[in-house]
Structure 1
């Protein structure tokens, strides 16, 4: 299920988009910032700090007064929320049995109770050492999430699955932007192989921090080549492509090419079938290790596009893919 979610949506609460946990009523046992850490939660036997057992998540102390605990996550970019993943892995005798989630739109760092919070879930029942998905219907873009836990305890991770809702009015006429950037709504759809790294990493801000922060396939032992399909945040005319193989030295692709189209439809596997016959945007070009490759004159004029297929030959890793261009108005 969770693999399907990331093919439809992005985690709006991920720190690399600028999201952060800005408030918690109590994080005595485990720092609130860990709640949205991009890594999978871990359990380290025998690891303690001054306050007790170290846990990979957000954990409040045992409440001895009336009330409950909550925290606030400020999203790095506004987004339409489709649902929440509440992960209590490794929290067994210390997880909260109940939770509720609220959303709001605010310019404040930590919105108060008067910020127009909207409750988007009923009282949710949680289990220990579990991952649960709670879909919501809320068409208004959100900037903040408030997670209530009843009455106290620990949550390993909160994922806020949805779609970035860019303000295109901020993009000037003819202004060049990275149309594939996660912050502008770009996303990975599907790939034939994501053994070492996810497709969505190629749309993330900045350069990759290490080999794990990119798309990387396993070593191909059979004929053919690997590929991935991504969606731009909106229709745009691409005039520059950047293929960054940062940190990929003994495992970068030897060559790459890119196909593109304006329209695609259906499930990821159906789009993958359609992509085989998409027109060529960038013909097959040679790549180097740990290098920023910029292509301009090599690009075909396909007009406005929305979807791209990156082909790598025969396999390997790409840190970032940038599709620089202008919004088609």
Structure 2
């Protein structure tokens, strides 16, 4: 029987390195067996034992050739959204005799793009050209902060593949350099942290819950198939995997009945709480069930609260908060965008919202539109 992994608390934060959040590889010394872009995928790595290319065994990760020249391999990642890094996972899945034995991580906050040669198409079987290397050598990496010193990794076996490292830094970063020593393979590189978005304009209507503005999930009841933090992504969802989906509740009635409004009568529900990017007044709400057709919730309810002091985010403390109804229970439909404006009951100001779905199921995105509260 496999032992269940205990994940570090920082894995609940936004995955700043995800390609789905706009991150991209802007440079890699070598992509011979597998390109560095694979590092940024959110889906779990897979292994195809019989798949080879003209360059060798195809791996689902970043794998460089066996180095036969001085130096070591490395790549630069531009974060899609600048943020504070609280932890990383270096996953060496399936790289058993070819994993990178050591890594280090550097970070920088750059105000301008690096203006390197654009990586186009599939980079497999390639290495950085002399022209690109010349441009890269102009970058002052001595000024980049080392946020993780040279550290050993475990092989890509089930019990050693997940390498977690807490990062002690409160600075905002835009770029990260991942160094592998001297060569080898890494399946996924996951950077977890908080988005540094700030809201200044009090007259502009924005999505207060968006991760672009610092929206963050602070607690939830169930995330069996998909984490509720996915709801805050600014771009439309890509699939059911890119949303919040719970398990089916075991306390749902054997025979379902509906009330006078067509909403099912159930005793249980699932919920998720979010900190808004700014204290704001709500004007309208969108709830998207895209891709959820046979597993969308029957109804949704949204409450808000204005927090005056921090709390320990557990179920008991969340329940004690003075929640006000923003949106009373509304019937949902599958694979559809629901827009609520006139239905908004309490407009705020609010600092946090609680989204409750009944009895269970999945939604892809929630937009909480409004304006930042003016300071008095």
Q: In the aligned structure 1, how far is the partner of 2:92 from the partner of 2:352? A: 36
Shift of 1:273: 3.4
Tell me, in whole angstroms, the C-alpha distance in 1 between the residues paired with 2:355 and 2:199: 26
Aligned counterparts of 2:219 and 2:292: Cα–Cα separation in 1: 21
Q: Please give the secondary structure, in 2, of the residue aligned with 1:202.
A: helix
**1:120 Cα deviation after fit:** 1.4
Is the Cα–Cα contact under 8 Å of residues 219 and 313 in structure 2 kept in the other structure? no
**Aligned match for 2:108, one of 95, 104, 119:** 104
| Stretch deviating more after TM superposition (235-244 or 115-124) | 115-124
**Counterparts of residues 120-199 of structure 1 (less than 5 Å):** 120-129=147-156, 130-169=161-200, 172-199=201-228
Do residues 278 (structure 1) and 304 (structure 2) align? no
Matched ranges for 1:246-257 at <5 A? 246-257=290-301
Query: What SS does the corresponding residue of 1:6 show, helix, strand or coil?
Result: helix
Q: Distance in 2 between matches of 1:218 and 1:119?
A: 41
Would you say how many aligned residue pairs link Structure 1 and Structure 2? 325
Work out the CA distance in 1 between the residues paired with 2:50 and 2:318. Answer: 46
- Equivalent pair of 1:225/1:313 in contact (CA under 8 Å): yes
Stretches of structure 2 lacking an aligned partner (at least 5 in a row): 1-5, 117-135, 252-266
CA contact (8 A) 1:12 1:161 kept: yes
2:334 maps to: 289
Structure 1, unaligned runs of 5 or more: none
User: Is the contact between residue 215 and residue 232 of structure 2 (CA under 8 Å) also seen in structure 1?
Assistant: yes
SS of residue matched to 1:122? strand
In the alignment, structure 1 residue 227 sits paired with structure 2 residue 231:
no
Find the aligned partners of 2:320 and 2:18 in 1 and give their Cα distance: 31
Shift of 1:271: 4.6
SS in 2 for 1:70: strand
Residue 117 of structure 1: aligned partner: 144
Alignment match of 2:10 (pick from 2, 5, 8) = 5
Partner of 2:81: 77
Structure 1, 34-43 or 247-256: larger mean CA deviation? 247-256
Structure 1 residues 41 and 274, CA gap change in structure 2 (3 angstroms):
farther
Q: Give the whole-Å Cα distance in 1 for the aligned partners of 2:152 and 2:334.
A: 49
Q: Distance in 2 between matches of 1:269 and 1:159?
A: 28
Alignment-derived partner of residue 126 in structure 2: none
Instruction: Map 1:39-50 to 2 at 5 A.
Output: 39-50=43-54
Structure with higher Rg: it is 2
In the superposition, the TM-score normalised over structure 2's length comes to 0.82
Shift of 1:268: 4.1
Deviations 1:19-65 (A, max 9, x none): 10111000101111001111111212212112111111111000011
Q: Is the 8 A contact 2:198 2:277 kept in 1?
A: no
Separation of aligned partners in 1, 2:60 and 2:359: 38
Change (3 A) 1:102 1:43: same
Change (3 A) 1:18 1:45: same
Q: CA RMSD in A?
A: 1.8
Distance 2:183 2:312 in 1: 43
Q: Is the 8 A contact 2:199 2:278 kept in 1?
A: no
